[in-house]
Amino acid sequence: MTPTCKDGLMLIDGELTAGEGGARGQWIDSHDPATLAPVGRVPAATAGDVDLAVQAAARAQIAWKSLSVWERAAQLRALAAAIRARGKEILELEARDTGNTLAKLQADIQIAAGYLEYFAGLGSELKGETIPATAQGLHLTLREPYGVVARIVPFNHPFMFAAAHLAAPLMAGNAVVVKTPETSPMTGGILGELCREVLPRGLVNVIHGHGSPAGDALVRHQLVRRIGFTGSVATGLAIQRAAAESSVKHVTLELGGKNPFIVFPDADLDRAVEMAVAGMNFSWAGQSCGSTSRLLLHESVHDEIVERIAAKLSALRLGNPLSLDSEMGPVNSARQHARVLDFIAAAHQARTVGFRCG
């Protein structure tokens, strides 16, 4: 495989375009975190680009919501098939763009396509309720689509989250505007190409760019009534604030957790060590909302478990994420690298000063 460098475009109103941002020379360069070699670049959307994307989604949604669930389901299944057909290309580009290991990334393609197929099958369950509240009247609920849904995607699984998070809103009759992560945007360009081939014009729009102006303009847009975000607490708070300032919107935030792994004295220590390390998700360099972030160990087993975990970690095979032998690649970006070093320095400081919980 010979790595190539390419531009990833936005999908706005059914057209692959660099938009106003690209025309102004506003591009975001992507580099392979393993080698620092250029992977490609994407245009940075302006507020005007975002408005065009949202307006296109709003127009397309009118016809889309009128389709039967069976018609919508067929198009979701077609998108899933298109993703699988270009799976190898997506995987290789994603490994270079994120630093995630190729061996584990293969599951992301199946998850993305699987979500589309799952929600396609779930469409017939979209129904309201009748409620016998009074003998004289008929009381019922009727579920309606929101209209335009914004999906803001994190850097750790950019393609999987972008594609999988189309499934539910599309099946429910909505249109979607996806914003890719600025440090790992490249496979978002492929998703745009696939949506252009398979789905009605304007139904899905894919934009690239920074949190400001692109993300802020998307969150504040009056036609965006539903927002889904996966990422950091700080960004989630900013999105919640901006959404509340601009309109009444339904916002879902999936933010980072500090997941504890608790070991009591009567635990199977072999199993505990195995699961603790597996849960740290080193295939993603630990950059996962489900990663084991904390070990809470009973003092009677503390030293043994720490020693055994350290031994397992020292045996991890670090390397280029494109190698199937690599168990862990680099962290996603220079910013992530600096953040990890800060955590290590803070841990050394805590040990030196002698912080103690109690």
Catalytic residue selected from 193, 254, 274, 327: 254
Backbone dihedral region for residue 25 (phi beyond 0: left; psi -120 to 50: alpha; all else: beta): left
Q: What is the mean pLDDT of residues 3-19?
A: 89
Annotated catalytic, 94?
no
The catalytically annotated residue of 15, 193, 274, 289 is: 289
The pLDDT of residue 324 is above 70: yes
What average pLDDT does range 329-344 have in this prediction? 79
Average pLDDT over residues 250-257: 90
pLDDT band at 133, cuts 50/70/90? confident
pTM of this prediction exceeds 0.75: yes
pLDDT tens digits, one per residue of 163-211: 999 999 999 999 999 999 999 999 999 999 999 999 999 999 999 999 9
Four-CA torsion 340, 346, 351, 352, nearest 10 degrees: 130
Q: Give the pLDDT band of residue 4 (cuts 50, 70, 90).
A: low
317 to 272, 324, 326: CA distances (angstroms):
21, 10, 5
Residue 329 has pLDDT above 80, yes or no: no
Nearest alpha-carbon partner for 178 in 220, 134, 228, 125: 228
| Rounded distance between C-alpha atoms, residue 9 and residue 17, angstroms | 5
Number of neighbours of residue 1 by Cβ within 10 angstroms? 7
User: Which of 323, 255, 343 lies closest to 32, judged by CA?
Assistant: 323
Q: What is the pLDDT of residue 1?
A: 46
Ranges of beta strands (E only) in 32-87 are: 38-43
Question: Domains of the chain by range and CATH?
Answer: 6-255 (3.40.605.10), 259-353 (3.40.309.10)
Q: Is the CB of residue 189 less than 8 Å from the CB of residue 9?
A: yes
Residue with tokens 């690209």: 22
How many percent of the chain have pLDDT more than 90?
68
Q: What are the strands, taking DSSP E only, across the chain?
A: 6-7, 10-12, 15-17, 27-31, 38-43, 130-131, 139-140, 148-152, 175-179, 204-207, 224-231, 250-255, 259-263, 292-297
Q: Return the exposure string of 212-225: e unless at least 16 CB atoms fall within 10 Å of the residue's CB, then b.
A: ebbbbbbbbbebbb
Where residue 351 falls among pLDDT bands split at 50, 70, 90?
low
Q: Both tokens of residue 326?
A: 């690599």
Q: Is the pLDDT of residue 69 over 90?
A: yes
Active site residue 357: no
- Percent of the chain scoring above 70 in pLDDT: 96
Q: Compare 34 and 266 and report the one with higher pLDDT.
A: 266
Residues 6+ apart with CB under 8 A from 51: 217, 221
| Residue 249: pLDDT over 80 | yes
